[in-house]
Amino acid sequence: MTQRPIHNRIAADYRALAARRRSYSAILWGIFIALMVAGFRLANARSAGGFRAGLPQILDYPAELVAEAWSKAAGLPGLMAGFLPALVETIDIAAVSTILGALGGAVGALLSTRGLAPWPRLVPLFRRLMDITRAIPDIVIALLLIFVLGGGPIPAALAISFHTAGALGKMFSEVAENASLAPVEGLESVGANWLQRMMLGVLPQVAPDWLSYAALRFEINIRASAILGFVGAGGIGYELRNAISWGQGRYDAAAAVFLLLFLTIVAVDQASSAIRNRLTGGRAAR
User: Has residue 182 got a pLDDT over 70?
Assistant: yes
Task: Give the model confidence (pLDDT) of 26-54 as tens digits.
Answer: 899 999 899 888 877 777 777 655 666 66
User: Which string of DSSP letters, residue by residue, matches 13-77?
Assistant: HHHHHHHHHHHHHHHHHHHHHHHHHHHHHHHHHHSTT-HHHHGGGTTHHHHHHHHHHHHTGGGHH
Specify the pLDDT at position 102: 94
Specify the pLDDT at position 120: 87
Note the residue count of the chain. Answer: 286
Band of the pLDDT at 95, cuts 50, 70, 90? very high
How far is Cα 186 from Cα 44, in angstroms, rounded to an integer?
Answer: 64
| Stretch among 44-48, 108-112, 142-146, 147-151 having the lowest mean pLDDT | 44-48
The residue type of 271 is: A
Share of the chain above pLDDT 70, in %: 91
pTM of the model: 0.76
How far is Cα 2 from Cα 14, in angstroms, rounded to an integer?
Answer: 19
Specify the pLDDT at position 249: 65
User: Has residue 98 got a pLDDT over 90?
Assistant: yes
User: Has residue 111 got a pLDDT over 70?
Assistant: yes
Band of the pLDDT at 81, cuts 50, 70, 90? confident
Per the model's pLDDT, the better-predicted residue between 73 and 130 turns out to be 130
User: Has residue 8 got a pLDDT over 80?
Assistant: no
Q: Across 188-202, 230-244, 269-283, which has the greatest mean pLDDT?
A: 188-202
Specify the pLDDT at position 184: 87
User: Across residues 66-83, what is the average pLDDT?
Assistant: 83
Per the model's pLDDT, the better-predicted residue between 252 and 204 turns out to be 204
SS (H, E, C) 239-283: HHHHHHHHCCCCHHHHHHHHHHHHHHHHHHHHHHHHHHHHHHHHH
Specify the pLDDT at position 141: 87
User: Has residue 6 got a pLDDT over 50?
Assistant: yes
User: Across residues 144-166, what is the average pLDDT?
Assistant: 87
Specify the pLDDT at position 3: 59
Specify the pLDDT at position 284: 41
CB 97, CB 225: distance < 8 Å: yes
Band of the pLDDT at 286, cuts 50, 70, 90? very low
Across all residues in the chain, what is the average pLDDT? 83
User: Across residues 76-94, what is the average pLDDT?
Assistant: 88
Task: Give the model confidence (pLDDT) of 208-235 as tens digits.
Answer: 889 889 988 998 899 888 888 877 777 8
User: Has residue 285 got a pLDDT over 50?
Assistant: no
Q: Measuring CA to CA, which residue among 164, 158, 153 is closest to residue 229?
A: 153
